[in-house]
């Protein structure tokens, strides 16, 4: 059965978000305080370990079953010339993922993650959102459910990513609708469009916002009208991971924008999420301000595919290696601080 077979199923999941395990958080904090280092000296590594403990519900969290889930979809509005690449590249890159030749193959391998690639109706792009809703209700629910379906119970960590030519424009529209701000503040070069391309992207987002201005300002309606299948799938995966208390690492501007409609209404939806990195896409840092997330890495990446999030998993692994592997003051016979 589909996880989000009905709108009610989606809304009730978003309305009933489980919390992290407070006992595991307290125990992990106590363990951090007992380790052979000055308090706080491992900086954010300490917070990451405590975060992982809280969501895994155990004082010593691990990443044995870590998954990168990459969703692919195509967009009807690409006819307006908003990407530096043709829409056919979405399917071609899915082929490249299967063959092992993409950046995410290398980075998921380096991070010890299994990689699931889910192509969502690539030969049936969403409707052009400057003239219609991108998806009808059933299409949006199917995409949300496809996202949820990759989140198997027992995963220790989930990385989410996307592939969909044109989707930096959808991401800008989602952010502008969710949080306000002129489209030009949310639009960036994406795959590398020139000034003319940026102007076309801004115009497309302005048209879409005008068309959908009177629609209900709800998470589902914003996603359905302005999102895309791969974007809704990310939202569904993050929501399902929350139900199962599986920590998530978010990737770039587009992955994070998938959560904007949800977070604008229910800010706590990002509580089980770490921001893997800050993309060079200019809207990303602005979006982090709204999401209340502080990215782990900032390496000038602007790829998507879950690439920055996968890279950040190495930092999370290092946090857990120190948390689980260091000696306590008592074990090492080292005098602790006063
Ligand atoms: C070869 C190639 C591989 C990619 N991998 C991710 N993206 C990224 O670029 C796209 C978004 O940028 P825009 O909105 O400008 O189309 C998405 O597919 C995103 O995942 C890629 C883009 C290309 C061309
Ligand atoms: O930040 C991202 O995820 C991104 C930026 C540009 C193109 N594709 C993805």
Q: 70 near 306, Cβ under 8 Å?
A: yes
- Take atom 5 of ligand 2 and give the residue whose Cα is closest: 302
Is any atom of ligand 2 closer than 6 Å to the C-beta of 252?
yes
ipTM of the complex: 0.99
Residue 127 Cα to ligand 2 midpoint, Å, equals 22
303-314: b (≥16 Cβ within 10 Å) or e: bbbbbbbbbbbe
Q: 84 near 197, Cβ under 8 Å?
A: yes
Q: For residue 271, what pLDDT is reported? A: 98
Q: For residue 337, what pLDDT is reported? A: 81
Known catalytic residues are 305
Residues of the chain with pLDDT under 70: none
Residues 6+ apart with CB under 8 A from 300: 280
Q: 201 near 82, Cβ under 8 Å?
A: yes
Residue bearing tokens 């914003």: 222
Alpha-helical segments (H) within 61-114: 88-99, 103-111
Residue 90 Cα to ligand 1 midpoint, Å, equals 8
Residue 276 Cα to ligand 2 midpoint, Å, equals 13
Q: For residue 75, what pLDDT is reported? A: 99
Q: For residue 246, what pLDDT is reported? A: 99
Is any atom of ligand 1 closer than 6 Å to the C-beta of 305?
yes
Q: Phi, psi at residue 182, to the nearest 5°?
A: -65, 145
- Take atom 9 of ligand 2 and give the residue whose Cα is closest: 304
Is any atom of ligand 1 closer than 6 Å to the C-beta of 168?
yes
Classify residue 36 as exposed, middle or buried by CB count within 10 Å of its CB (0-12, 13-18, 19+).
middle
Residue 190 Cα to ligand 2 midpoint, Å, equals 6
């Amino acid at each position: 059965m589909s996880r989000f077979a009905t709108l009610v199923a989606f809304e009730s999941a978003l309305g009933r978000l489980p919390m992290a395990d407070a006992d595991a958080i307290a125990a992990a904090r106590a363990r951090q305080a007992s380790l052979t280092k000055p308090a706080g000296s491992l900086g954010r590594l300490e917070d990451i370990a405590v975060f992982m403990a809280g969501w895994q519900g155990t004082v010593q969290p691990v990443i044995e079953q870590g998954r990168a889930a990459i969703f692919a979809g195509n967009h009807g509005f690409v006819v307006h010339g908003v990407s530096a690449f043709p829409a056919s590249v979405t399917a071609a890159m899915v082929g490249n993922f299967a063959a092992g030749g993409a950046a995410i193959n290398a980075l998921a391998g380096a991070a010890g993650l299994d990689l699931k690639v889910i192509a969502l109706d690539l030969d049936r792009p969403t409707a052009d959102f400057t003239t219609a809703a991108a998806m009808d209700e059933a299409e949006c629910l199917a995409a949300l459910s496809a996202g949820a379906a990759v989140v198997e119970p027992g995963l220790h960590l989930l990385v989410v990513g996307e592939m969909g030519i044109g989707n930096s424009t959808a991401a800008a529209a989602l952010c502008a609708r969710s949080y306000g701000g002129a489209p030009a503040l949310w639009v960036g070069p994406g795959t590398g469009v020139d000034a003319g391309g940026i102007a076309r992207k801004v115009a497309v987002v302005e048209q879409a916002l005008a068309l959908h201005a009177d629609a209900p300002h709800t998470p589902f309606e914003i996603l359905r009208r302005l999102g895309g299948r791969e974007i809704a799938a990310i939202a569904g995966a993050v929501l399902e991971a929350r139900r199962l208390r599986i920590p998530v690492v978010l990737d770039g501007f587009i992955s994070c924008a998938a959560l904007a409609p949800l977070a604008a209404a229910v800010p706590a939806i990002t509580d089980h999420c770490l921001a893997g990195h800050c993309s060079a896409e200019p809207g990303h840092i602005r979006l982090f301000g709204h999401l209340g997330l502080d990215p782990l890495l900032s390496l000038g990446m602007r790829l998507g595919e879950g690439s920055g999030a996968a890279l950040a998993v190495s930092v999370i692994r290092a946090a857990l290696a120190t948390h689980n592997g260091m000696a306590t003051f008592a074990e090492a016979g080292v005098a602790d601080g006063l």
